Amino acid sequence: MPSSLKYFLTRLSGSLVTMLVGTIVVFLVMKAAPGDPALIVLGDYATDETVAAFNRKHGLDAPLMAQYLDWLGGLVRFDFGQSLSVSAGENIGDLLLYRLPNTIFVGVYAILIAVTLSLVLGTLAALNRGTTVDTSATSLAVLGVSMPDFWFGYMLILGLSIGLGWFPSYGFTPPSDSLAGAFYSGFLPALAIAAPMAAVFTRTLRTALIENLDREHVMVAKAMGHSGRFRFLHHVFRNSLIPYITVVGLQIRYLLGGVVIIERIFGINGVGSLMVEAAFARDFFVVQACAVVFLGIVLAVNYVVDLICAMLDPRRVR
Amino acid sequence: MTETLLEVNDLNVAFRLASANLTVSSDVSFSVDRGKVLGLIGESGSGKTVTSKAILRLLPKNASLEAKAIRFKGRDISTLTEAEFNRLRGTELAMIFQDPVGSFNPVKTIGWHFRTVGKLHRGAGAPRGEIMKEAKEVLAKADIADPENALRKYPHQMSGGMLQRCLIALVMFSKPSLIVADEPTTNLDNLVERQILDLFDKLRRETDASFIFITHDMTIAEMISDSVIVMYAGQIVEQGPTEALMRRPQHPYTQGLVRTARELEGEVETLTEISGEIGTGVHPENRCRFAPRCPLYEKACDHAIALRPVEGHGLVRCIKAGQGAANEVTP
């Protein structure tokens, strides 16, 4: 299929260009951020000589363009440089490699919860349009979008950890140590991130299902003698997947925003908490690296989602 | 020897709305003979689509359907459960809709539609090659030049006319006895419309299927049907063999329709129109429903008018029918 191959390649090159622009933005924003890394690492009483030596050592005295290209050249080789202050001298790549699995685990966990909840609630609401079931599911969804995830996180701790004692209130067992432990200790943070997403997914699915239920081809399928189950699966649900998956893909960026906060609240050693720690310590290289990793994840997920949607919707590939 | 395939007896359809109950089909009775085409005529809102959808039980949930009996092949199908009734859909009773583009699932190929319908009616164990071979045959019968290629196509890759052929083929694929065609050419341009009508004409000659052909175009009804029912505001106002009805329409409404059709054929400068608009579905019980628009209206029309046989014609719902009031319509 040459036309679809062409589509995939065009989208891929688009993503790469976005990535490149993203690195420039990340780099410039970090340069514009207040605070001199040398003074933060060396202290306020450092002499001009030691500051100059520090800047020379880390290439911070070079022209802006050269600094960017140097950094970009490293990125291409997955070399993110060294940490300045958070974990001084340590290779940032190693830091990320240690922390990324935790973040991905919690993120995927949250998506699974959100998708499961929304599939059930969205379908129930659409099939019982206008009834109490629909109103309850829709109200639950409104509640979900209205709650900030950090607040909901604390409420979960208050209720399920401190109140009922079912879950730990702090700390996370990495999946590499114990998968079951990771699922258990990661449940509350994942649920806190999942709640607002589940709400958006539910509403999207409900609207898409209702719209597709009224389509002419569903009636035609009924006139042909196809069962209600067949019509729902192959005509209504199947076609609703296209907007649904698109929205799931779009929510990934909010997911990452949520991860940053939730990791701090629940004490998860992830990329999000690393980024916050590094920002407080003015560890520019680490913050830049984390931002680029997040950017890469968002673009990769969006790319995959686009491919899935292209497969689901033949009208999209020409 | 004609055999009655479908017999509808006093069909009533009403819609429950927030404000009121709206009757859209009142005491409709008719029958379709095997191998014949019944034309169902009327303007938008006359109840023709609702009547035909009611036969296949395709009405929305807020519609209520009542009938003394709907007999199909001698059996009353109005009392069947939904599961029993569903076994008739596609295999015995089928429907072709107005919008061929919207009739196909846009994300599935034409072949998928044939494969799933084939599996449904031939059993899950039916060999796929056999199903697809038959699909190609029926597509060829519907004048699709390259069936192999058509099966691979997605709906958006085909024209409306091609899709309507595919839909007709898909319906014929399961060999139903009665096909309801709801304005199947309305969304097509004139040339394609003519081709599709020719296709219907060919199919009715080649198969023993019966058709209910819904249209608002008298000329089409005349061309394709053996008998005609004219509906107005949810009631049958005239019913009879096509030729007689077209030559000597008895009801003033039918006369208006026929006159306009003749004028269209004759390319006159101005068309005679039936003034006014069709009502809203709430009709006073003690008055002829066509009265507000009728050129022949008089005091005597102010009571419920019954459908009655008129010598030499079919059934007419007008007190003046057969009294010499109805003149021959000449082009």
The reply to whether A285 and A171 lie within a common domain is yes
Is A227 part of the contact surface with chain B (CB cutoff 8 Å)?
yes
Torsion of CA B257, B259, B263, B266, to 10 degrees: 120
Kindly list the residues from chain B whose CB atom is less than 8 angstroms away from the CB atom of residue A226.
Answer: 90, 116-117, 120
* Segment A54-65 mean pLDDT: 80
Q: Which residue has the higher pLDDT, B126 or A126?
A: A126
* Segment A243-263 mean pLDDT: 87
* Segment B68-85 mean pLDDT: 88
The reply to whether A56 and A176 lie within a common domain is no
Residue type, B86: N
Residue B286: how many CB atoms within 10 A of its CB? 8
- Please give the angle made by the CA atoms of A286, A292 and A297, to the nearest 5 degrees: 130
The reply to whether A111 and A237 lie within a common domain is yes
pLDDT 10s digits, B2-39: 788 898 888 888 888 777 777 777 788 888 998 899 99
Report the predicted TM-score, pTM, of the whole model to 2 decimal places.
0.82
For the record, the structure tokens of B46 come out as 């006359």
Is B92 part of the contact surface with chain A (CB cutoff 8 Å)?
no
Nearest-CA distance A225 → chain B (Å): 5
Residue type, B42: G
Quote the domain boundaries for residue A70.
2-76
- Our count of domains for chain A comes to 2
Minimal Cα distance from A310: which residue of B?
B107
Is A11 part of the contact surface with chain B (CB cutoff 8 Å)?
no
Q: Domain spans of chain B? A: 4-225, 237-331
Alpha-carbon distance of B305 to B234, in angstroms, equals: 13
Task: Using the predicted structure, report yes or no on whether residue A3 has a pLDDT greater than 60.
Answer: yes
Alpha-carbon distance of A37 to A283, in angstroms, equals: 7
Residue B329: per-residue pLDDT: 53
Residue B253: per-residue pLDDT: 86
CATH topology for the B4-225 domain: Rossmann fold (3.40.50)
Residue A178: per-residue pLDDT: 82
Alpha-carbon distance of B289 to B295, in angstroms, equals: 13
The reply to whether A180 and A252 lie within a common domain is yes
Nearest-CA distance B307 → chain A (Å): 31
CA proximity to B10, closest of B56, B68, B53, B59: B68
ipTM of the shown complex? 0.86
List the 231-270 stretch of A: residues with Cβ below 8 A of B.
Answer: 234-235, 238-239, 242
CA distances from A33 to A29, A36, A67, A282, B80 (A): 6, 9, 16, 9, 75
Alpha-carbon distance of B326 to B309, in angstroms, equals: 14
Alpha-carbon distance of A312 to A316, in angstroms, equals: 9
pLDDT > 90 fraction of chain A, expressed in percent and rounded: 25
The reply to whether A126 and A210 lie within a common domain is yes
| Torsion region of A244: left, alpha or beta (phi above 0 gives left; psi -120 to 50 gives alpha) | alpha
Under a CB-based contact definition with an 8 Å cutoff, are residues B70 and B7 in contact? yes
In a domain, A92, yes or no: no
For the record, the structure tokens of A49 come out as 């000589």
For the record, the structure tokens of A184 come out as 């258990």
Alpha-carbon distance of B157 to B151, in angstroms, equals: 11
pLDDT > 90 fraction of chain B, expressed in percent and rounded: 21
Report helix, strand or coil for B247.
helix
Minimal Cα distance from B104: which residue of A?
A217
Residue A116: per-residue pLDDT: 95
Residue A247: per-residue pLDDT: 92
The reply to whether A62 and A144 lie within a common domain is no
Is A229 part of the contact surface with chain B (CB cutoff 8 Å)?
no
Binary contact (B90, A315; C-beta < 8 A): no
In a domain, A88, yes or no: no
In a domain, A93, yes or no: no
Nearest-CA distance A234 → chain B (Å): 9
Residue B326: per-residue pLDDT: 47
What are the backbone angles phi and psi of residue A277, rounded to the nearest 5°? -60, -45
Residue A31: per-residue pLDDT: 81
Alpha-carbon distance of B18 to B279, in angstroms, equals: 19
Kindly list the residues from chain A whose CB atom is less than 8 angstroms away from the CB atom of residue B95.
Answer: 220, 223
Long-range contacts of B132-135 (CB under 8 A, 24+ apart): B134/B173, B135/B111, B135/B169, B135/B173
Under a CB-based contact definition with an 8 Å cutoff, are residues A22 and A293 in contact? no
Nearest-CA distance B233 → chain A (Å): 25
Nearest-CA distance B103 → chain A (Å): 4
The reply to whether A110 and A202 lie within a common domain is yes
Q: Which residue has the higher pLDDT, B120 or A85?
A: B120
Is B80 part of the contact surface with chain A (CB cutoff 8 Å)?
no
Kindly list the residues from chain B whose CB atom is less than 8 angstroms away from the CB atom of residue A219.
Answer: 58, 97
Minimal Cα distance from B157: which residue of A?
A315
Alpha-carbon distance of A46 to A306, in angstroms, equals: 52
CA proximity to A314, closest of B109, B100, B149: B109
Average pLDDT in chain B: 84
Minimal Cα distance from A224: which residue of B?
B90
Q: In DSSP terms, which residues pair with B214 in a beta bridge?
A: B40, B182
CA proximity to B42, closest of B299, B296, B290, B318: B290
In a domain, A149, yes or no: yes
Report helix, strand or coil for B7.
strand
The reply to whether A28 and A147 lie within a common domain is no
Lowest mean pLDDT segment, chosen from A198-207, B126-135, B147-156, B255-264: B255-264
Task: Using the predicted structure, report yes or no on whether residue B325 has a pLDDT greater than 50.
Answer: no
Alpha-carbon distance of A264 to A258, in angstroms, equals: 10
Binary contact (B90, A219; C-beta < 8 A): no
Binary contact (A222, B102; C-beta < 8 A): no
Backbone Cα Rg of chain A: 24
Residue A181: per-residue pLDDT: 81
The reply to whether A66 and A157 lie within a common domain is no
Is B168 part of the contact surface with chain A (CB cutoff 8 Å)?
no
In a domain, A190, yes or no: yes
| Torsion region of B32: left, alpha or beta (phi above 0 gives left; psi -120 to 50 gives alpha) | beta
Pick the residue of B89, B92, B93, B105 with the most A CBs within 10 A to test the interface with A by mutation: B105
pLDDT 10s digits, B44-56: 778 888 888 888 9
Picking from A59, A76, A93, the residue at the C-terminal end of a domain is A76
Minimal Cα distance from B179: which residue of A?
A223
Task: Using the predicted structure, report yes or no on whether residue B131 has a pLDDT greater than 70.
Answer: yes
In a domain, A289, yes or no: yes
Task: Using the predicted structure, report yes or no on whether residue A249 has a pLDDT greater than 60.
Answer: yes
Binary contact (A225, B86; C-beta < 8 A): yes
Task: Using the predicted structure, report yes or no on whether residue B246 has a pLDDT greater than 90.
Answer: no
Residue B281's pLDDT band (cuts 50, 70, 90): low
Under a CB-based contact definition with an 8 Å cutoff, are residues B106 and A315 in contact? yes
pLDDT 10s digits, B164-212: 989 999 999 988 999 999 988 887 888 888 888 888 888 888 888 899 9
Is B62 part of the contact surface with chain A (CB cutoff 8 Å)?
no
CATH number, domain of A140, equals 1.10.3720.10
The reply to whether A56 and A166 lie within a common domain is no
Binary contact (A223, B56; C-beta < 8 A): yes
pLDDT 10s digits, A107-160: 999 999 999 999 999 999 999 888 888 888 888 888 888 888 788 888 888 888
The reply to whether A142 and A72 lie within a common domain is no
The reply to whether A136 and A265 lie within a common domain is yes
Residue B190: how many CB atoms within 10 A of its CB? 8
Kindly list the residues from chain B whose CB atom is less than 8 angstroms away from the CB atom of residue A217.
Answer: 102-106
Task: Using the predicted structure, report yes or no on whether residue B331 has a pLDDT greater than 60.
Answer: no
Kindly list the residues from chain A whose CB atom is less than 8 angstroms away from the CB atom of residue B97.
Answer: 216, 219-220, 223
